[in-house]
Amino acid sequence: MGKVAVIGFGESGRAAALLLNHLGYTVTLWDSNQTPALVARATEIQTLGITVRLGENFCPTPGLVRVVVSPGVPWDAPFLQQSRALGLVVQGEVDLAWDVLGQVPWVGVTGTNGKTTTTMLLAQIWARAGWVAPACGNIGRPISDVALGPLPDWVLAELSSFQIEQSPNIRPKIALWTTFTPDHLNRHGTIESYAAIKASLLDQAEQVVLNGDDPYLRTLLPRWPQAIWTSLHDPTAPIHVREGQIWVQEERVLAVAEIQIPGWHNVQNILMAVACAHLAGIAVSHIAQAVRGFQGVPHRLEKITDRAGVAFINDSKATNYEAAATGLTAMTAPVILLAGGQAKQGNPQLWLQQIHRATLGVILYGQAAPVFAELLRQSGYQAFTICQDLAEAVPLAWTWAKNKGAATVLLSPACASYDQFANFEARGNCFRQLCHQLGT
C-alpha cells in the first residue's frame, strides 16, 4: 500500500493512523510536541507497528505516498505545500474517512454555533428510527474511528470549517448550516473565506437545510433553490413554528412546550434536526418521541446542580461572543456570569447588551479578563471583578449569588479555553467539579 504520514497526534490523528494501519499502509505519526501524555499514547500505538515521531517537525521522506493531517494543522502550512509540490496526496482526516465511508449516506452539520446540539439530536432521532448512525467528527469521536467498522447505516458528522477545508471530496446526502457569524478568522483570514469554506459543503450535498432565521443564511436561499429552510417566525418556511407547535409543512410534530432544553436558539436547532429527519424519510412519530426525550449536551447550557435555589449552569462550549450572548438570552432569571479565557475576534455588542439585561454581576478570569473589563467599562457596566482562574471565580460567584439575590450562576466564557485548559470540555469539567465542592 505504501508509506503514509499522519500529522498531529490528537484524537483525529490517532484515529487516522489506526485506520491507515488497518488498511495496510506503513504509518508514521508526527507531532511537534512531546508531552508525557503523548509519550504514553505513543507507547500504546507503537505496539501496532505504527512509528511515532514526537518533538519533530514533519518533512517528506522517501517512499511517502500520502499525508493525512489533523484539523488543527493549517491547510496552507509550508510542509503541506512542499508535499503537494512533490506530488503527494494531501488530505484531512475526514477526507480519509470518506474514502472508506462514502458508500454510506452522510448528514454534514456545519455552522458557527448550534452544531453539536443539532448533531446530537440527529443521533437520537436516527436511533429512535432504528438506524445505526453515530454522531462523530468535530463532536468528539473522529470519523476515521467510525470507518474502522462495522459500517453504519448513516454517518452523522459535525464538521468544522477546518475539517471542511481539508476534505474537498466529501459529498453528503444532506448538509445543514446552522448559523453564521465571524469566527476562526486567525485561521481563515477573512469572513468571506470562512463563509466560502462553509458553503462548499452545501454545494456538494444532494439536499440542503438552512436556518432561515439567520440573516446571512437567509440571503443564501437563492444559491440553493431546492433547500429546505426553517423559521421560528415565518409560517411559509417548510419547517416552522406556528401557534406554539412545530410543523413539517401542514403536519404537526409536537408542541414547543414539550421541549426540555432552554432557549429559542435550541428551538431553531430542533427545527433543523426535524428538517433533516424529514428529508431522510423518518416518521414524524419517531421525530417527536426523540425530541421530547432530548435533554441537551454536556457543556451547552448544562445544569450542574442547585444550591439553595441557585442553579449552576455550564455553558463552556460558548467559545465566542455570539454563543455566549445566546446562552444569556436563554436565561430568564438574574445571573452571575463567569466569562474569560483566550479571546477571539468578533463583535461583542449583542453580548454586552445581554450582560446589561440579564446579569447582576460578572466575574472575569484568564487571559481575556483585562480586555473584557475594558469592554464592560466602556459600555457603562460596573458590577464586575477579575479573578485569576475558575478555582477562585466559582466560590466568589456563589457568594455573589447569595448576596445579590441571583437565581443562576452561568459559566459562559465567550472565549476559547486554551490559556488555561486543553479544551472547552476540560474547562466545563473543572467548573462541574468546583460546583460540587462548594460549601453552604
Kindly report the CATH number assigned to the domain that includes residue 61.
Answer: 3.40.50.720
Q: Are residues 83 and 104 in the same domain?
A: no
Nearest alpha-carbon partner for 110 in 10, 213, 210: 210
Q: Are residues 289 and 378 in the same domain?
A: no
The grid coordinates of residue 60 equal: 517528506
Q: CATH number for the domain including 403?
A: 3.90.190.20
Number of neighbours of residue 364 by Cβ within 10 angstroms: 24
- Rounded CA separation 119/122 (Å): 5
pLDDT of residue 183: 58
Nearest alpha-carbon partner for 212 in 192, 237, 181: 237
Alpha carbon of 9 to those of 15, 52, 69, 262, 384: distances in Å? 9, 9, 10, 36, 40
pLDDT of residue 189: 62
- Strand, helix or coil for residue 24: coil
pLDDT of residue 47: 95
Q: Are residues 181 and 50 in the same domain?
A: no
Strand residue runs (E) in 33-179? 51-54, 64-69, 89-92, 106-110, 135-137, 155-158, 174-177
Q: Are residues 204 and 320 in the same domain?
A: no
H or E segment at 339? strand 335-340
The grid coordinates of residue 75 equal: 491547510
pLDDT, one tens digit for every residue, the chain (440 residues): 799 999 999 999 999 999 999 999 999 999 999 999 899 999 999 999 999 999 999 999 899 999 999 998 999 999 999 999 999 999 999 999 999 999 999 999 999 889 999 999 999 999 999 999 999 999 989 999 999 999 999 999 999 999 999 999 999 999 999 999 855 556 656 888 889 999 999 999 999 999 999 999 999 999 999 999 999 999 999 999 999 999 999 999 999 999 999 889 999 999 999 999 999 999 999 999 999 999 888 898 999 999 999 999 999 999 999 899 999 998 988 999 999 999 988 899 999 999 999 999 999 999 999 999 999 999 999 999 999 999 999 999 999 999 999 999 999 999 999 999 989 999 999 999 999 999 76
Burial status of residue 402 (CB atoms within 10 A of its CB: 0-12, 13-18, 19 or more): middle
Q: Where a domain ends, among 253, 268, 293?
A: 293
Alpha carbon of 228 to those of 198, 221, 241, 248, 338: distances in Å? 17, 9, 15, 10, 38
Q: Are residues 289 and 309 in the same domain?
A: no
Q: Are residues 350 and 378 in the same domain?
A: yes
pTM of the model: 0.85
Q: Are residues 170 and 152 in the same domain?
A: yes
Whose grid coordinates read 484539523?
Answer: 71
pLDDT of residue 182: 58
Residues 6+ apart with CB under 8 A from 193: none
Q: Are residues 105 and 26 in the same domain?
A: no
**Number of domains, the chain:** 3
Q: CATH number for the domain including 222?
A: 3.40.1190.10
- Domain of residue 33, residue span: 3-87
Q: Where a domain ends, among 293, 315, 330?
A: 293
Q: Which bin fits 299, alpha (ψ -120 to 50), beta or left (φ > 0)?
A: left
Could you tell me if 232 and 238 are in contact, meaning their C-beta atoms sit under 8 angstroms apart? no
Q: Are residues 180 and 271 in the same domain?
A: yes
Number of neighbours of residue 131 by Cβ within 10 angstroms: 17
pLDDT of residue 421: 95
Q: Are residues 52 and 81 in the same domain?
A: yes
Q: Are residues 413 and 345 in the same domain?
A: yes
- Rounded CA separation 415/428 (Å): 13
Strand order through the sheet with 359-365:
302-307, 310-314, 408-411, 335-340, 359-365, 384-387
Q: Are residues 173 and 272 in the same domain?
A: yes
pLDDT of residue 297: 85
Nearest alpha-carbon partner for 254 in 280, 293, 281, 209: 293
Query: What are the backbone angles phi and psi of residue 252, rounded to the nearest 5°?
Result: -75, 135
**Beta pairing class for 207-211 and 228-231:** parallel
Q: Where a domain ends, among 259, 293, 327?
A: 293
Amino acid identity, residue 376? Answer: L
